Structure 1
């Protein structure tokens, strides 16, 4: 690979991320690949936006930093110009390549299409396929494999040739044979997989794609969730009519009122909070007096709290925490609190209409007369209550009742 394109940025400028989070997707003429964060940080500046094509390998595509880094000495405009200089261009043979851009201070790193690696050993930059081939064949002298890939990178074919040439030292008891496992940086949450006595099975679990891990996390959360569907029409009209309002304010007010009718906490806790993504996990902020505050005032209060208040500690969490989809994972769910997740609007068809449409299609398939069926999809959003309380279903029903009639929450 010498160049590629930016298919999609999964993070926005200014957004923080954690190690293992998906940052962007890169595409070539043969494949599309995920690029994951190697450490916690913040996406400071995107130099190559979505849709960029013919981006040269090792050219800067973004600037990432740690929380609180001083970026005043970084010449962002210069890096952007350098990116353009690094892109392939039609040039005469006599053209001299532009010099590489100056590296920024150590506190800030550049996310590139292909990380540099001068390590030609088996412990250098390797793909999961190469690492597994070494591990599965119990190669104890993997450091002697000569890489034929770019920058001396070891390819799977190099491992197979090493075995074919009889140069491999096979030792199933050697601790060194398992060492390449450390090269795999994507690891599933501890709640999703138990350690296995079968080391090769454990390795395969560690090698799962991040998208697969996210799906496993979603399934685990679904097991602990009670979900109801709420029509979007009334709520969408109110928010559209007054830009000062927000869906979050309506959800916080509905949760606060529902808590006074259905208790989720044994100690009678009726406090409500909101969670936002942070560098080390979700940060929770309490929204005081939510049950007696109008949604218009709540919308302003939510913004003020997130800007100026300190996040709550684990021992101070409210009974219900409102969070967007993806903020919580099975491993980060708070103890003793329910998480209220409001999903995005989507279309659904009633069970009766779906059954009629299916009957019509089956009749047409077996040669009968197909009857036209009028299908009217409705716009709804899912509201899920994630937690261990046996009262979750009753609480979800109360929240649905309030959000289905949002005009009652205006005062």
Structure 2
């Protein structure tokens, strides 16, 4: 018996994803554990493994298809002793089943609200196209009725409209003119010019990850009242200790970075000032008894924050080893959901780019993020005398609904003391 392979839920919050790439083709034999596809979720691009053994009889959803709902059949596997050539794709009942319902929908014609839903049926026939293809077509002025679909069951996908030339839509029938005009109004919205089209340019589709970053940062700035607190910290003692530790850890193949030590310092500071290790939850305040630090890592597809769990209670060597492995997997798009979901506070270090100081956006639902600038030689008061020291500026962004300014200031004071007297990080 043939086996239907369905779009998996690769994270607890995943409802749909993009089938980025097939790693197998029709006729290939797979066994449990073989990599079948790369699927882009709202968090990362992840590899999907086979759980059954058999021959790929039919690939139902083409690679590059956006908005594939969890549970949708994406391929069919021929079972043992079954002729792969005789296996047919599953009946496309979902789209066809929706069509009759949609046909009945226009009954309340007088109501203006349902008009947008009738847009795909202006000709009487439902045009099968992905949401992305429809959006691109609307932006470019492409008439979908004249586009030949290359997707499953003739569905129009992104590739079909990407290079299509703009063309006038067929004139609506007289009786349908008002409805078609009303239906076309919402579709025209994306065509608004938000940039100077006369400048040579190219338009790049946003990945699911970039869409999520945009949504979450917008949410953070619109809904979280940020308060920013900055301190200057002398790094010389920490740099000296780092050199000594790296010399002793060389035989173990461990090399501590300044960021590893700052992760530890933030975690210890949060345990000492637990009023900042919280989450605002409407009419409740969640107080964490463990400091899990989310660390901002830049990847080719966008920013992601793998987590060092219980960072206050593990050694610097362990933090360094974990961070290197997590950063490598993040840049390869191979992080597992449990490695980046959660965290009680975040740290973002842009010192390696020479950035002196910046204000980071809080990563909801967390209540604080620490922005770390570059360590640089500056005039500084050392032992009541003007001297030169290596100084770093660090700024804490706090959710003022959950953290009072005095508590945020206390956290920054403790963090500064830990970095300037770093032997406390070894205790």
The structure richer in strand per residue is 2
| Superposition TM-score, scaled by structure 2 size | 0.39
